[in-house]
A and B are shown apart, each in its own frame.
Chain A
Amino acid sequence: MKNCTITIDNKEVTVPEGTSILEAAKKVSINIPTLCNHPDQTVKANCRICLVETKPGKLETACSTKVRDGMTINTVSKLVRDTQRGVLELILANHPQDCLKCIRNGKCELQKLCEMFHISKSNLEDEIDALEKDESNPSIVRDHSKCIKCNRCIEVCQEVQGVSILSHAHRSTKYCITPAFEKKLVNTLCVFCGQCTSVCPVGALYEKDDTEKVWNALYNDNLHVIVQIAPAVRVSIGEEFGAKPGTKVTGKVVAALRRLGFDKVFDTDFTADLTIMEEGHELLDRINRGGTLPMITSCSPGWINYIEGFYPQLLDHLSSCKSPQQMFGALSKTYYAKKLDLDPSQIFTVSIMPCTAKKYEAERKEMSSYGYRDVDAVLTTRELARMIKSASIDFLNIEEENFDEPFGITTGAGVIFGVTGGVMEAALRTVYEVVTEHELENLDFMDVRGLEGIKEATVDLNGTPIKVAVAHGLSNAKKILNQINEGKSDYTFIEVMCCPGGCIGGGGQPIGSTMKVREERIKGIYDVDKVMPLRKSHENPAVKELYEEFLGQPLGKISHKLLHTTYSPRSEKIDFDYLQWNNEIALTEE
């Protein structure tokens, strides 16, 4: 490839042809300010903050302009600075400057620009659009009075997830990012994945904060408050406190949760192992009895929302297994309650999830098999970090602690649920050994690992080769569903994760989940798996004990009642009236 030699602020640099001015400037240690630009997205050039002078009196956006050989660029001329500051002043005049109260305080890209430019005064008159907040759903809040119209959320919604709920409407000062016909999210087929909250540079899209609900439960002496943490949280929450992405902080989270006042701290990995037992046997059952194939995993609630809304004709392909979060919830109100001799109403079950869709999942009508909600409150990784900060816990220096028993005994198979391909790999480790009755020599199924959109593998089960696929990001899932729809799918088992990279890239994870960060978190997860003494779900002694003491066998009668669920086509209108569940009469059958 040809190289271009250019001069940026009197410094010469040679870069390959096709490099943007923005990237070229980084080579000489100049970080041109940006706002709409996102490392994983297409170039938009609509915020106009990154303008630089390419000829005297001519400004071009550094993000979208490719270097031309011999170009002389000035990034600090008076014209550049005046214009950049002017653009920023214009944004500020239309932005509610309630930074101290904003959920993105300290993590806002606009705030960072303000710090850089230090606009102490402006002659512009503020005009903030009076727009209603959309708090209609359990997962995501849209406060579009704060929206700066960067279009990042639209790209992630339309291109990465392929759900196309967010789009733009109107023009000029009324131009806005909105679902079609300005519907509230709850009245659309939004899957609540929260990827939009993850790419929003400001506080216009964020998770619904349930921390107060959890604090109140903790303060209630009549409640036994227990908590489960999802696999993906342990390699990401450290970022909120300055640790590098992928740093494993499991023991610190456990300790912090105890300091916050949780009575027992458990691990969702445990019910991930349980999911493998149920799902693995369901798969074998379908293969042996000619059930609907390919069978598709069901642990990702954004994915469930998607297939219910967009491919209702394919619901039979879904495994009937509840997600690990919900299995945990169901057990907490039955098996665990019985063990502790507590009334289920006294148990308040919290989960810490990398996911905003989990909030919605916990509130689904069918997730209360015995009259009690399986899970009472769901916090995202970001919310837990918020609680830890507000409790003044020195997170990075806290002494590590271990999970409580029995739901704290886990395997490597459970932890890899947090990454794309992990459920598949965990299932294969178990299914292989159950079917062949041989010990698996190599536990690492490399074919299903990594960030490629759709991954395939073939596994030999006693002479029968079965073909499996793994997809992450709903636009990839869509391709697989279309194959099934057209009768062209030759897979037996498919794993789908709603978010790119799997749960480690979930919509509830710390802000800044770029692809690079996702890679680091994935590495962190596999590092945890590698050093676990047990790496296969069916070897988990606590799971074995659970079957012996309570469930009987996988797919048994109690499993069926507690650990499995049903799906139904989703219309655009979701009715949350049933959430008056507190008044429901407990229908305990035991």
Chain B
Amino acid sequence: MNRTVNIISKNFKKYNPESIEEYLELGGFEALKKAIEMGPQEIISTLKTSGLKGRGGAAFSTGRKWEYSANVKGDKKFIICNADEGEPATFKDRYLLEYDPFKVIEGMIIAAYTTGSTNGYIYIREEYKYLHNKVRKAIELAEKHGFLGKNILGSGLNFNIKVVSGAGAYVCGESTALIESIEGKSGRPRLKLTRTSKQGLFGLPTLVNNVETLAAVPPILEMGVEEYIKYGTHTSKGTKLISLCGNVNKPGAYEVPFGITLREIIYDIGGGIKDGKQLKFLQLGGASGAIIPAKLIDIKYCYEDLEEHGASVGSGAILVADETNKVTHFLKSVQDFFIHESCGKCTPCREGNRQLTKIINRFVTGNASVEDLKTVEKFANVMKYASFCGLGQTAPTALLTAIKYFPVEFYQQIDRIRKTS
């Protein structure tokens, strides 16, 4: 039984994203109208009830985040839609921007209305170049129809949106690095001495939300929160867009209710493993996510159950690897990614990735030592505990979970008892 749902993804491929009329026919901007009737306080409490969490990976309560932002005073306040989607194996935000850009815009306007923000940015990764002008076009159409600009729908809200392109750095998905990037600086995370909601972009109050988080708001308001929370589990409410890819028959972005099992995702939705091979492991949440062995695929896809196994939903990426994949070789590809993307600012991430790369390469070529296994684990932990931002803290997640679940694969690559250097 295919348990995919259509809440956030309702409009996918149902309308021409260059036609705001078609979006309106599908009930577009009704949620905004409803939001204006509800008022900021009710929107915030609705979101709190909905259990909506940041869908970019951090999983922070959206209702609480908006509440913080709404309580910050300021004449000029920003909302940033984080469409940097740089996490490998993740492409669900691309679907949203490509097939339902107006919903993202509508979500941003509701956020602006709720928090009293004046300026919005959609920060789209450079690699989604073909989407930049499409989204700009959608903004333009929304402006023409009075959904952006001055006194939106008579609510007194003045709000406009600009599209900003990233320049290719993965770390710019981290909200403070993203802010630096919009400010024209090199994308490196900032030391947060005060919350971004108080001092963010150009030192002004800023709310940063993931594309999917913003796109989830209109459906929640439209269908009613009671209806929304019928999906999901007690603590992981609602639905999630997943990016299913790897050695699976039907890769793609799907919307699933929380609580579905990984087995259902891979076999019912994904059509099973390619070429009839056996499943070996999954990587959840992108390159920065944990590795889960095949024996655990009956666990539920929700925040709490995954956490029990040292994994997390993260961005919603599910990478499927079949029996032909060597764990150590897979880790090398992850490591190559992180050593390329570390910004270099802090010691653990810059030097830790350098050392991890060297050692993992020895495991790949089969001439690692016993000490190497201890050393690689030790410094993976140093990175995890000591790095400045999420990039360095999560870069060794795959490695640490691989050591936990596939120790034998490491031992097979060891050819020396003692390090010779």
Cβ 8 A contact of B339, one of A48, A59, A79, A173 = A173
Name the interface residues of B305-358: CB closer than 8 Å to any CB of A: 339-348, 350-355, 358
Q: Does any Cβ of B come within 8 Å of A568's Cβ?
A: no
Q: Cβ of B386 and Cβ of A172 under 8 Å apart?
A: no
Chain B residues with CB below 8 A from A43, complex form = 191, 193
* Distance in Å: Cβ of B344 to nearest Cβ of chain A: 2
Q: Is the CB of B375 within 8 A of A87?
A: no
**Separation in Å of the A65 CB from the closest CB of chain B?**
9
Cα of A201 to Cα of B353 in the assembled complex, Å: 24
Bound-state Cα–Cα, A540 to B222, Å: 89
**Contacts A86-B382, A124-B375 given: A172-B191 contact, CB under 8 Å?**
no
Report yes or no: A149 in contact with B345, Cβ–Cβ below 8 A.
Answer: yes
Nearest A-chain residue to B375, judged by Cβ? A123
Most buried by B among A44, A48, A49, A91: A48
Residues of A contacting B303 in the complex (Cβ-Cβ under 8 angstroms) = none
Give CA–CA (A473, B390) in the complex, Å.
37
A91–B344 touching, CB < 8 Å: no
A87 interface neighbour in B342, B348, B353, Cβ under 8 Å: B348
- The reply on B213 being an interface residue by CB < 8 A is no
- State A86–B376 Cα separation when bound (angstroms): 11
B344 touches A123 (CB 8 A): no
Inter-chain CA distance A47–B386, complex, in Å, is 9
B145 at the interface (CB under 8 A from A): no
Q: Tell me the complex Cα distance, A343–B419, Å.
A: 67
A342 interface contact, C-beta 8 A: no
Closest residue of chain A to B341 (Cβ to Cβ) is: A172
Q: A148–B419 Cα gap in the complex (Å)? A: 27
Which chain A residue lies CB-closest to B379? A86
Contact B388–A46 (Cβ < 8 Å): yes
Contact A90 to B348, CB < 8 A, known contacts A43-B191, A64-B191, A123-B371: yes
Q: Please encode chain A, from 542 to 573, with 1 for each CB lying within 8 Å of some chain B CB and 0 for all others.
A: 00000000000000000000000000000000
Query: Which A35-89 residues sit within 8 Å CB-CB of chain B?
Result: 43-49, 51, 59, 64, 79, 82-83, 86-87
Known: A44-B191, A124-B355. A174 touches B344 (CB 8 A): yes
A94 within 8 A of B: yes
Q: Is A181 engaged at the interface, CB distance under 8 Å to the other chain?
A: no
CA distance A83 to B392 in the complex (A): 14
| Cβ-based interface call for B32 (8 A) | no
A125 close to chain B: CB less than 8 A: yes
**Residues of A contacting B358 with CB < 8 Å?**
125, 127
Within 8 Å by CB of B386, from A44, A86, A123, A170, lies: A86
Does B421 have its Cβ within 8 Å of any Cβ on chain A?
yes
| Across-interface contacts of B171 in A (CB, < 8 A) | 171
Residues of chain B within 8 A of A171, CB atoms compared: 169, 171, 186, 188, 341-344
Please give, as numbers and ranges, the residues of chain B lying within 8 Å of A172 by CB-CB distance: 339-344, 350, 353-354
Contact of B385 among A59, A90, A91, A149 (CB under 8 A): A59
How far, in angstroms, from A170 to B344 measured CA to CA in the complex?
8
Q: Give Cα A125–Cα B360 distance, bound, in whole angstroms.
A: 13
A91 CB, nearest partner CB in chain B, Å: 6
Contact partner of B351 (CB less than 8 A), chosen from A45, A51, A93, A168, is A93
B354 engages A94 (CB within 8 Å): yes
Smallest CB gap from B169: residue in A: A171
CB atoms of B385 and A46 under 8 A apart: no
Contact A173 B371 (CB under 8 A): no
Residues of A within 8 A of B353 (CB): 172-173
Also in contact, A51 and B191, with CB within 8 A (given A172-B339, A174-B344, A175-B350) = no
Using a CB-CB cutoff of 8 Å, which residues 119-138 of chain A contact chain B?
Answer: 123-125, 127
B374 interfacial by beta-carbon distance below 8 Å: yes
Give CA–CA (A4, B340) in the complex, Å.
42
Tell me how far the C-beta of A51 lies from the nearest C-beta in chain B, rounded to whole angstroms: 6
- Residues 387-406 of B, flagged 1 when their CB comes within 8 A of A and 0 if not, give 11000000000000000000
Tell me how far the C-beta of B288 lies from the nearest C-beta in chain A, rounded to whole angstroms. Answer: 15
Is there contact, CB below 8 Å, between B385 and A127? no
Q: Which residues of B contact A82 (CB under 8 A)?
A: 378, 381-382
Query: B340 — which chain A residues lie within 8 A by C-beta?
Result: 172
Name the A residues within 8 Å of B385 (CB-CB): 51, 59, 79, 83
Residues of B within 8 A of A123 (CB): 371-372, 374-375, 419
A46 and B382 form a contact (CB under 8 A): no
A170, B421: Cα distance in complex, Å:
31
Q: Which residues of B contact A125 (CB under 8 A)?
A: 355, 358, 421
Q: How many angstroms between the C-alpha atoms of A45 and B346 in the bound complex?
A: 8
Which residues of chain A are near B371, meaning CB under 8 Å? 123
Docked CA distance A281–B197 (Å): 58
> In the bound complex, what is the Cα–Cα distance between A127 and B345 (angstroms)?
18
Report the separation of the CA atoms of residues A173 and B352 in the bound assembly, to the nearest whole angstrom.
10
Establish whether residues B344 and A93, one from each chain, have CB atoms under 8 Å apart when the complex forms: no
In the assembly, what is the distance between CA of A223 and CA of B193, in Å?
60
A64:B344 contact, CB within 8 angstroms: no
B203 nearest CB across to chain A (Å): 14
B344 / chain A contacts, CB cutoff of 8 Å: 149, 168, 170-175
Instruction: List the B residue with the shortest CB-CB distance to A168.
Output: B186
Q: Are B193 and A48 in contact (CB under 8 A)?
A: no
Q: For B342, B344, B419, which residue has the most chain A Cβ atoms within 10 angstroms?
A: B344
Whole-angstrom CA separation of A275 from B161 in the bound complex: 61
Residues 160-178 of A, flagged 1 when their CB comes within 8 A of B and 0 if not, give 0000000010111111000
B191-A91 in contact (CB<8A) = no
Contact of B386 with A48 in the complex, beta carbons under 8 Å: yes
| CB proximity of B267 to chain A, nearest CB, Å | 36
- Give the Cβ gap from A144 to chain B, nearest Cβ, in Å: 13
Closest to B186 in A: A168
Closest to B382 in A: A86
Q: Residue on A with the closest CB to B171?
A: A171
Give the contacting residue for B354; candidates A46, A47, A79, A127; CB below 8 A: A127
User: Which residues of the other chain, B, contact A91 by a CB distance below 8 angstroms?
Assistant: 347, 351
| Contact between B352 and A90, CB atoms less than 8 A apart | yes
List of B residues within 8 angstroms of A175 by Cβ: 342-345, 350
A44 to B419, CA, bound (A): 37
Residue of B186, B341, B382 with highest tally of chain A CB at under 10 A: B382
Say yes or no: B374 contacts A48, CB within 8 Å. Answer: no
Contact check, B382 vs A87: say whether CB atoms are below 8 A apart: yes
Given contacts A86-B386, A171-B171, 9 further A-B contacts (CB under 8 A): A48-B388, A51-B385, A82-B381, A94-B354, A125-B358, A127-B358, A170-B344, A173-B350, A173-B353
The residues of B with any CB-CB pair to A shorter than 8 Å are 169, 171, 186, 188, 191, 193, 339-348, 350-355, 358, 371-372, 374-375, 378-379, 381-382, 385-388, 419, 421
Of all A-B residue pairs in the complex, the 5 with the closest CB atoms, nearest first, are A175-B344, A86-B382, A90-B351, A172-B342, A123-B375
Interchain residue pairs with CB less than 8 A apart (24): A47-B346, A48-B347, A48-B386, A48-B387, A48-B388, A49-B347, A51-B385, A64-B191, A83-B385, A86-B378, A86-B382, A86-B386, A90-B347, A90-B379, A123-B372, A123-B375, A127-B354, A149-B345, A149-B347, A172-B341, A172-B342, A173-B342, A175-B343, A175-B344
